[in-house]
Structure 1
Amino acid sequence: MIKTLQILRGIAALSVVGFHFRVYLFADFPVLDACAAQGFMGVNLFFIISGFIMYQVTERNRDPWKFIGRRFIRIVPLYWLALLTFRGLGSLTNPDTYRSMLFIPLGGGNRDRRSSVMQPGWSAGH
């Protein structure tokens, strides 16, 4: 059952990618563009499935520190690498880079501001 849900979660993630890149990928294909325009709905599906899978996985192992440690090791180094790769090493002089690396929202809680110097960083901090 989990593998089937993982496939559906992958489809949801790809639909979001299609939504963001549809202008580049499907500009000449109106039918595909119309489908990709609905890709934003994949966000909710992805998070619902992820929550269910997290529950299933943690139900077997109830040690929260082990869960947090594994999640940290799996996500944070890759996020930092992506952040430094896409922002460049010159961004190390920008205090917002360090705030983003520590998952501190740039707006200080103000919903009108970005939560990270790398826009997808908001999901890693939640």
Structure 2
Amino acid sequence: MNILENLQLVVVGKFSYGAPDIYELRSSIPNLCGIIGGVRLDIFLINILMRFDRMEDYIKILSKTSYYIIAKDGFAYQMSPFIYDVNFKASEETTKATTWISFPDLSLTFFVKEVLFSLASVVGKPL
């Protein structure tokens, strides 16, 4: 479904206790998170929707559990990144978590995207 809607590289930035102005977020998030490619930020209910141009930036922002954004008003706002899916509900706490899986001593023969995704699917939906 995400591919049909062109939402495969989309992350929801969830704010627990308020958020800075969207214009301030558009200038601070790329610098704070080290985004190299393009990112489009939009308001998504009480959260933000970040659409990335590059897979590397998508993975980079999901690699941390939270970011603290210092706004012009002096407050630090906590933002937690989550993978967007159609079942995401802004009013509920998420029950999903991003995990990294390693396969030590895996033969080079198995370093093919299809095989790695098949192995990782035992734990959940691979990126």
TM-score by length of 1: 0.23
- Looking at both structures, which has the greater relative contact order when contacts are Cα pairs under 8 Å and sequence separation is at least 6? 2
